[in-house]
């Protein structure tokens, strides 16, 4: 099987490719424009891998996409390329519409044309599902008939499309109505709608997944967890938006990669699967956990007064339109496809901190001039609020 992965040089795409190639589950064509968020160094050793190809292509470039499909003839598409950071979408929403909406429509159009050109004659029953390395049984695969019927377009989306969840409300299910708050979430919601429309109108064989916040190795340090780990290690302030009481559900990126593979293999065409980590935490709890783990590891804070990393926490002006809570009900993927997360949040966070400690070169290179400009743009004008207390 050959999979065309878009956005494979990003955080989740690179974890997916490392997962697929380490287990020899599929050959991979990585289509990535290498924006600020794309980093080939997140795919170590793959340049020597005969089952891996890299195409530096922008998903907005239709002719280039057509060429890639023609040259590589994939059996499936896993679409992760996107602008993915909420704060950037607030400061500059245009590129989010361009890439996430127009880019996705472009990819859908090319995939549809390609998919309908595939052979529709049966070539016998499907091969047995490949092992994923996790200790749960996968259901037996259906006897699919032809390359055209086997073709899949897997759209990777976010729980943020469901919008702000009241504290006492039950977690998001696959039928929760869409109510996106940020330009990022709105652009992802639009792309989800396009993908579903392409299924219903043109019969494109799609599966959609909506996932909660990911964390783990190789995450660009503009997102909460790597930003806080690296700032704390450097003795820099830890900027919590608002009162730090916003709740997110956290999933280890390697658990996400496995869930994506399971859905691609066994998901029902036209169906959506929510993916979550069963780990709801407030941002304050997350940052305090990072501080405590670093305290335990290194004893003294680099810059904190009393010696705890918690002294670096600063409450700063809130993000406009900030959603209070996201939570995922992932019973569908658990009961129908047998997947569940393998990492506990605390163990996964500890491993992630260790990874950032062990990879100073990767960190140094992503913290380039462009990264420093972003930190300046997002944080310099953000007032420290009266909620600011050293130990939250
Ligand atoms: P990321 O920002 O780390 O990576 C995005 C990748 O897409 C980069 O490699 C970038 O170069 C590439 N890209 C951007 N614009 C492109 C374009 N026009 N053409 C080709 N490539 C382009 O993002 P991520 O965190 O890995 O997220 C991947 C996907 O998963 C996104 O679709 C995101 O919406 C979704 N998602 C992310 C999270 C999360 O917590 N990070 C949670 C749920 C869903
Ligand atoms: P983020 O990692 O940007 O993911 P998302 O906005 O997609 O959930 O942020 C996670 C949470 O952390 C979110 O509630 C915003 C908050 N946050 C801060 O409090 N301070 C920060 O510096 C950042 C980047 C995020």
**pLDDT by residue for the chain (392 residues), tens digit each?**
999 999 999 999 999 999 999 999 999 999 999 999 999 999 999 999 999 999 999 999 999 999 999 999 999 999 999 999 999 999 999 999 999 999 999 999 999 999 999 998 876 655 555 555 554 444 445 555 699 999 999 999 999 999 999 999 999 999 999 999 999 999 999 999 999 999 999 999 999 999 999 999 999 999 999 999 999 999 999 999 999 999 999 999 999 999 999 999 999 999 999 999 999 999 999 999 999 999 998 754 455 455 899 999 999 999 999 999 999 999 999 999 999 999 999 999 999 999 999 999 999 999 987 899 999 999 998 989 865 443 33
User: What is the total count of domains within the chain?
Assistant: 1
- List phi, psi (to 5°) of 170: -65, 155
Residue 216 CB–ligand 1 contact under 6 Å? no
Q: What is the pLDDT of residues 300-325, one digit of tens each?
A: 445 545 589 999 999 999 999 999 99
Give the residue, by CA position, lying nearest to ligand 2 atom 4: 223
> Is 333 a pocket residue for ligand 2 (Cβ < 6 Å)?
no
Does residue 214 line the site of ligand 2, with CB under 6 A?
Answer: no
DSSP H or E run through 215:
strand 213-215
**CA–CA separation, 3 vs 68, rounded Å?**
12
How much is the pLDDT for 297? Answer: 87
Which residue has the least CA distance to atom 15 on ligand 1? 82
Residue 13 CA: nearest ligand 1 atom is 26
Residue 183 within any structural domain of the chain: yes
* 81-132 pLDDT, tens digit each: 999 999 999 999 999 999 999 999 999 999 999 999 999 887 665 555 555 5
Q: Is residue 238 part of a domain?
A: no
Q: Which conformational region is residue 319 in: left (phi greater than 0), alpha (psi within -120 to 50 degrees), or beta?
A: beta
d(CA 182, CA 159): 12
For ligand 1, the distance from its centroid to the CA atom of residue 381, given in whole angstroms, is 27
CA angle 388, 252, 215 (to 5 degrees): 40
- Does residue 389 fall inside a structural domain? no
pLDDT at position 121 is: 86
**Per the domain annotation, does 227 fall within a domain?**
no
- Residue 189 CA to ligand 2 center (angstroms) comes to 19
Q: Is residue 386 part of a domain?
A: no
Determine whether the shortest distance from the Cβ of 248 to ligand 2 is under 6 A: yes
**Residue 288 located in a structural domain:** no
Residue 241 domain flag: no
Measured by CA distance, the residue closest to atom 27 of ligand 1 is 12
Torsion of CA 72, 187, 262, 268, to 10 degrees: -90
Residue 335, domain extent: 2-216+249-281+324-345
**pLDDT value of residue 390:** 38
Asked whether 224 lines ligand 2 (CB < 6 A), one says: yes
Count of residues making up the chain: 392
Q: What is the pLDDT of residue 388?
A: 46
In a domain, 152, yes or no: yes
Q: Which ligand is nearest to the CA of 220?
A: 1
Task: Name the residue with tokens 């709105």.
Answer: 186
CATH number at residue 68: 3.40.50.720
Say how many Å lie between the CA of residue 10 and the centre of ligand 1. 6
pLDDT, position 86: 98
Atom of ligand 2 nearest to the CA of 87: 3
User: Residue 132: its pLDDT value, please?
Assistant: 53
Is the pTM higher than 0.85? yes
Q: What is the CA(327)–ligand 2 centre distance, in A?
A: 15
Give the torsion through C-alpha atoms of 117, 121, 127, 130, to 10 deg: 10
The rounded Å distance from CA 371 to ligand 2 centre is 16
Annotated catalytic sites, by residue?
159-160, 184
């Amino acid at each position: 099987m050959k999979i065309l992965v878009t956005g494979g040089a990003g955080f989740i795409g690179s974890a997916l490719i490392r997962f697929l190639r380490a287990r020899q589950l599929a050959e991979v064509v990585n289509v990535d424009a290498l924006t600020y968020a794309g980093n080939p160094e997140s795919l170590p050793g793959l340049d020597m891998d005969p089952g891996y190809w890299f195409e530096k292509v922008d998903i907005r470039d239709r002719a280039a996409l057509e060429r890639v499909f023609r040259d590589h003839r994939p059996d499936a598409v896993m679409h992760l390329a996107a602008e993915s950071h909420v704060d950037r979408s607030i400061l500059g929403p245009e590129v989010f519409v361009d890439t996430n909406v127009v880019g996705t429509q472009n990819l859908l159009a090319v995939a549809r044309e390609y998919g309908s050109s595939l052979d529709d004659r049966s070539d016998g029953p499907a091969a047995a599902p490949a092992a994923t390395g996790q200790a749960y049984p996968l259901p037996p695969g259906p006897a699919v008939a032809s390359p055209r019927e086997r073709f899949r377009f897997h759209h990777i989306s976010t729980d943020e499309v469901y919008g702000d969840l009241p504290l006492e409300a039950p977690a998001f299910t696959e039928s929760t109505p869409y109510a996106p708050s940020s330009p990022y979430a709105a652009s992802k919601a639009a792309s989800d709608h396009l993908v579903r429309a392409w299924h219903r109108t043109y019969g494109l064989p799609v599966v959609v997944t909506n996932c909660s916040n990911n964390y783990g190795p190789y995450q660009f340090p503009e997102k909460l967890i790597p930003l806080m780990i690296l700032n704390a290690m450097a003795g820099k302030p830890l900027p919590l938006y608002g009162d730090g009481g916003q709740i997110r559900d956290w999933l280890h990126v390697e658990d996400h990669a496995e869930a994506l593979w399971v859905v691609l293999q066994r998901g029902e065409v036209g169906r959506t699967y929510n993916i979550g980590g069963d780990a709801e935490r407030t941002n304050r709890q997350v940052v305090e956990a990072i501080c405590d783990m670093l305290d335990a590891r290194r004893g003294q804070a680099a810059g904190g007064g009393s010696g705890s990393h918690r002294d670096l926490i600063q409450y700063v002006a809130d993000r406009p339109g900030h959603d209070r809570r996201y939570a995922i009900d992932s019973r569908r993927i658990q009961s129908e496809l047998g997947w569940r997360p393998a990492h506990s949040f605390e163990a996964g966070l500890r491993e992630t901190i260790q990874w950032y400690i062990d990879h100073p070169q990767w960190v140094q290179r992503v913290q380039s001039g462009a990264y420093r400009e972003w930190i300046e743009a997002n944080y310099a004008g953000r007032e420290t609020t009266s909620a600011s207390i050293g130990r939250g």
